[in-house]
Structure formats: C-alpha cells, structure tokens
Amino acid sequence: MAQNGGAPTYTLSEGCPVADPNTAQRVGSGPVKGLILLQDTQLIETLAHFSRERIPERTVHASAVGAWGEFQVTHDVSHLTSAKFLNGIGKKSKVLLRVSTVGPERGYPETVRDVRGWGMKIFTEEGNQDFVFNSIPVFFVRDPIKFPSVNRSHKRNPASNLPDSTMFWDFHNNNQEGIHALMQLFSNRGIPASIRHLNAYSGHTYKLTTDTGFVYIKIHFKTDQGIKNLSQAEANKLAGQNPSYHTADMRNAIENGDYPSWTMYFQVMKPEQAENYRWNIFDMTKVWPHANFPLQPVGKLTLNRNPENYFQDIEQAAFSPSTMVPGIAPTADPMFQARMFAYPDAARYRLGVNYQHLPCNAPVSEVYTPYQRDGKFRYKTNYGGDPNYVGASLKQVNFKGKVGANGFSPGGHEEWVGTVAGYASDVTNEDFVQAREMWKVLGRSNEQGDFVQNLVGHLGSALPQVQQETIKMFSKVDEGLGADIKKALSSNSYSLAIDSLPPFVNATSPVQTLRTSQRCT
C-alpha cells in the first residue's frame, strides 16, 4: 500500500494516484462551476462501484451473526472416525461460525421467532469440514421437493409482500410431518436470548467411518452458557429498540473477552441397531431419544474473534453439507442429499464458481484441483501448464508426473437395491408421537401455557378456516392442547372459524394479516 507519512494514500483501484479523493472534475472558471466530466475516472469508478456493492442476498438465512473461533477435541473418538481433526485429545482447529435467522431478509429484527441456522466451517489438515445445522433438532419437512415451499410459506405473501400467517399455517396444516418442528419453534426456544444461549443440532443422521466400518451419528452442540430465551413481549420490544440485538450481544461478549463456548456431542448408533429401530433414521423430522442413544462428549467450540469486516468474513462465507473430510460421510437422508446439491449451488450463484478461493472459505490445507479451472474471479492459481484432463500421461512443462490420488478408504457403506419410482412420504400417527413427547417436556418445565400464547400470537392473524385446521392438527398432539389454543384464540380476540369467509385464494389482500378482531361464530 502506498504510504503517506504512515497513513495510506488514496489511489484508483488500478493503483493510479489521484490528486484529491474528495473532488470531482467540473468545467468552469468562477466560483460557480459547471458540468461534470465523463473523463473523471475517480468519480465514475466511485459511483459505479457503489451501485455494485451488494451481491445477491441469500434466499434463506440472509440475516446473520458471525465470529471466528476454535474447536478443540476433549474426548477420544478414534474408534469411531478417521477424521484427523477429531483424533488427538487437545487438538485444535480454526473455525468460522455464522448463525442466521431463516426467513427474514438482511436487516430484519434479529429477535424474531424463527429457527436459527448454524453454518460452521472447521479448517482442518484434510480440508474443510462444514456443519450446516439448526437450532432445533428436527425439520419441518423430510421430502426435498417441499424444501422451497416450506421456506416460501414462512416468508412473504407474493401479492401483499407481507409476512402471512395464513400462508404459513395453510402449508403446515397440509404437510403435518412438520408438527414436531412446530412444537420446537413455538416453544420458548423459538426466540433465543442471544446466539450464545442456543443449541445446534445436525438434524440429519451422519456416518462416521474408519478403515473397518461405520456408525451412524447425530451431532449436538450444547451451549455452555445455558439455554436462555426471550419472551415474545421482550422480543417485540427489542425488535423496535435494537433490531441488531443479537449481533451487538455477540460482538460485545467477544470484545469483552467473554468467549462463548459449546460442547459437541455425538449420539452413536450401530448399523444393526438402525435396521429395527422404531424411527427411520433418515427422516429428519425425528430425534433419537436420549434414553436410547445417550450423548457422548467429543470436543469444545469457542468463539474468540470478531469478524475483521462483516462482508469479507461473514457475508462471503459459504457453507455446505457436502463439504466433508475423510471419516465423516453423508447418509441416505433425502434432505441431506438434496442440501448437498443446493448449498454449493447457492454459493456458485451468489459468489461465483470460484467462491472457495475467498479468504473466509479457503482451506488451510493444500488444494490441488487442476480439473476445475477458469471461471469468473479466478483469484488464485489456475494451475499453469498442469494437465487439465483426467488420465494425462504426457509430462508438461513444470509438471512432475501424473496426478496422484489420496486413496483413503471411504469406510463401509449401505447397499441399496430397488426400483426407481416417484415417491412422497405419507403423514401417519407416528409423526405425532415425538411431538407429544415434546409437549410433555414443556409440561415438566411448566412452559405449556407459554407455548399456547406463543402460538396464538402468530396463528391469531391467520384466516379463521385455516385456524380451525391448525387446531385440529394440534389436537392430534394432545386434545387439551387443541382446546387450549381454541380458548386462547377466542379470549384474545383473535379470529376463529367463519364458514362464509372467502377461500384462501381470495384472501391474499394485505388486510388479512392485520385482521385480528373477528370473533368465533
């Protein structure tokens, strides 16, 4: 950088010096100057760059808090996985963590009720390991064809551009496999007090592999700060007073040396246990009850450094369930498989095909991918004259021979045999069993009343006929819960069934999301 008595000297982005960065060239001779000139590269460049400052916003997970940190192994898991970053008690790896709301756009208040996405990149000697988890242990759908739909229903009405509880509940009434996730979202954990006070869960079943075989696991990060939530009223107040409340909390904590940490646990299942287990382990609407598969501690994540620059470190960060090191492997969970495509695809669209070269994403291990070349923004090496096709035998200038392969053992895997067919899962009574367990958990912590209030605060602005269906759905979890929701809706002046109301398609006017005063007929 050009220096000027210790201070940086402003230049154009091509490096050429400018006389004064505060001026624009104009024609004129007196105190009142005339026209601006097109030849003023400094002005043109400044304006043109400003218009291009924004990159495409993530369709989901746009608003986020991020920080750097480290992961340290605390327990021996070498019998479960060959992943080198998990082998060796005390071993440390650099980490980037980005925790986001899902539905809202960037700048939306951070204390909204929503799932939090947990994008974590561990920079290991064997390449990056990404964990793209959630703050609840289950998800709303298990069929990837529904993935865009569930997200759209949680976002804005396409006509009114308003968040729309009718749309939200209409989707869930007709896709009731999401009932377990809804039990989590409308529990008090749906609004964490801060990012430091929430857990994260893999949701998906993963595989851990060694040279000799594999096990299935679910991964949990449990906050060492303890779970802490905001009431809906506190969250609403903060949304107005300090929409960036969670960002400020994290920055301040790290700035003050109060480093948040999480303990990482595995639940471990042997393949033969999976064969006859009550729950389909590839269904991400289900947990593995702790009593069946207890949590085993693995290591500790600590956040200890704020981003140097938000755009550089956090906005440009890209995480994918497909980014895995040897010793960790995907499973047949269809949502897992679909996300392995969708996340890098989103990054290619948002950041360009060479997004892995950006400093926040670049592995600390050596990278050699000469069959991936060129493309927009080739920031780093383009491999000179190395072979750009597989199986090259000719020795090129500056190239020492054939491209080698690591040849690591991928471990054992399942065998799948069957006929190709279109498939969509059915909702059955089994989908309500774990939701019912969650209702009991809330009973033990005396939070059932909060749950009902949290729920009707949202459901109350949906159309009455949609509310009726939602009440029926929650009645399948617990008859009393359904009755409580019905009672709370009517006593809070929220709307209830009016059979003569227009059908949903006619109800997309902005007014419907504001309508809270219709009474039950």
Closest residue by Cα to residue 113 from 234, 4, 17: 234
Burial of 54 (0-12, 13-18, 19+ CB in 10 A): exposed
Burial of 412 (0-12, 13-18, 19+ CB in 10 A): middle
Of 447, 469, 501, 509, the one binding ligand NDP (CB under 6 A) is 447
Closest residue by Cα to residue 372 from 396, 394, 348, 350: 348
Query: Does 437 interact with ligand NDP (rule: CB under 6 A)?
Result: yes
Query: Does 316 interact with ligand NDP (rule: CB under 6 A)?
Result: no
SS3 92: strand
Percentage helix, strand, coil for the chain under 3-state DSSP, each rounded to 5: 30, 15, 50
Query: Does 424 interact with ligand NDP (rule: CB under 6 A)?
Result: no
Residue list, annotated binding site for heme: 343
Query: Does 445 interact with ligand NDP (rule: CB under 6 A)?
Result: yes
Nearer to ligand NDP, 289 or 384 (CB): 289
Nearer to ligand NDP, 284 or 314 (CB): 284
What is the DSSP pairing of strand 328-329 with strand 7-8? unpaired
Nearer to ligand NDP, 262 or 343 (CB): 262
Q: Which of 128, 134, 157, 173 is catalytic?
A: 134
Q: Which residues contact 35 (CB under 8 A, 6 or more apart)?
A: 26, 27
For the question of residue 361 being annotated catalytic, the response is: no
Query: What string of H, E and C letters represents the secondary structure of 398-438?
Result: CCCCCCCCCCCCCCCCCCCCCCCCCCCCCCCHHHHHHHHHH
Q: Which of 4, 22, 49, 61 is catalytic?
A: 61
Of 36, 89, 441, 514, the one binding ligand NDP (CB under 6 A) is 441
Query: Does 289 interact with ligand NDP (rule: CB under 6 A)?
Result: yes
Map the footprint of ligand NDP across residues 193-212, applying CB under 6 A: 199
Q: What is the DSSP letter of 229?
A: B
Query: Does 449 interact with ligand NDP (rule: CB under 6 A)?
Result: no
Nearer to ligand NDP, 214 or 439 (CB): 439
Map the footprint of ligand NDP across residues 320-349, applying CB under 6 A: none
Closest residue by Cα to residue 357 from 128, 95, 69, 70: 128
Query: Does 187 interact with ligand NDP (rule: CB under 6 A)?
Result: yes
Residue 285 Cβ vs ligand NDP, minimum distance, rounded to whole Å: 10
Query: Does 290 interact with ligand NDP (rule: CB under 6 A)?
Result: yes
From 190-198, 284-292, 346-354, 491-499, span contacting ligand NDP (CB under 6 A): 284-292
Amino acid, single-letter form, for residue 97: L
Residue 483 Cβ vs ligand NDP, minimum distance, rounded to whole Å: 21
Query: Does 434 interact with ligand NDP (rule: CB under 6 A)?
Result: yes
Amino acid, single-letter form, for residue 8: P
From 81-89, 148-156, 287-295, 362-370, span contacting ligand NDP (CB under 6 A): 287-295
Residue list, annotated binding site: 343
Amino acid, single-letter form, for residue 119: G
First to last CA, the chain: 73
For the question of residue 134 being annotated catalytic, the response is: yes
Taking the CA atoms of residue 413, residue 418, residue 421 and residue 425 in that order, the dihedral angle to the nearest 10 degrees is: -60
Query: Does 82 interact with ligand NDP (rule: CB under 6 A)?
Result: no
What is the DSSP pairing of strand 116-124 with strand 296-305? unpaired
Of 66, 109, 117, 137, the one binding ligand NDP (CB under 6 A) is 137
Residue 441 Cβ vs ligand NDP, minimum distance, rounded to whole Å: 5
Give the total of residues touching ligand NDP (CB under 6 A). 17
Q: Which residue reads 């402003």 in tokens? A: 10
Q: Give the binding site for ligand NDP (CB under 6 A).
A: 137, 187, 189, 199, 220, 287-291, 434, 437-438, 441-442, 445, 447
Supply the residues annotated as catalytic.
61, 134
